[in-house]
Structure 1
Amino acid sequence: MHRSLNPASRLHQEAIQFRIILASTYPFFLVAALVQRTIPQARSAMPQRRRSVFAEARAMAVSAIPFVFMG
């Protein structure tokens, strides 16, 4: 079957798919970020600026999502 979608429409569909996958995986990564915060880690000599738990969860989700589209 031949697709007749123009490139703009295809990009829009991919953006929608990305948002759906982000919304569905975000709760998992939020739990992972919370667990990561509760586990004591060795503190480095230099103090690190930390993102919020929500920003950390979003960053983890956004970095993992491209693997869904590979293959």
Structure 2
Amino acid sequence: MNATSRLHQEETQFRIILAATYPFFLVAAVAQRVLPDRSPRPAAARQGLSARRSVFGEAKAMAVSAIPFAFMG
């Protein structure tokens, strides 16, 4: 298999996994916003990243950071 087709295949797999896992991470992002934060961080630090991103952006960021583990091995 040449490098271009392998890269295209991995990109396609990544997109499929992203589409399959995004709803779960969206639920997790909504839960993080709705449920009270029980971390010991100061209130200003807790609002940092979440206040800058939408719930959808946060869900995508969580999915994109978790998916590479599926390709390890």
Percent identity over paired residues: 69
* TM-score, normalised via structure 1 length: 0.84
2:72 & 2:36 partners in 1: Cα distance?
34
| Structure 1 moving runs of 4+ over 3 Å | none
Higher helix share: 2
Question: Aligned Cα RMSD in Å?
Answer: 1.8
Give the aligned length: 67
* TM-score, normalised via structure 2 length: 0.82
Amino acid across the alignment from 2:72: M
* Unmatched runs of 5 consecutive residues or more in structure 1: none
Tell me the secondary structure at the aligned position of residue 44 of structure 1. Answer: helix
* Unmatched runs of 5 consecutive residues or more in structure 2: none
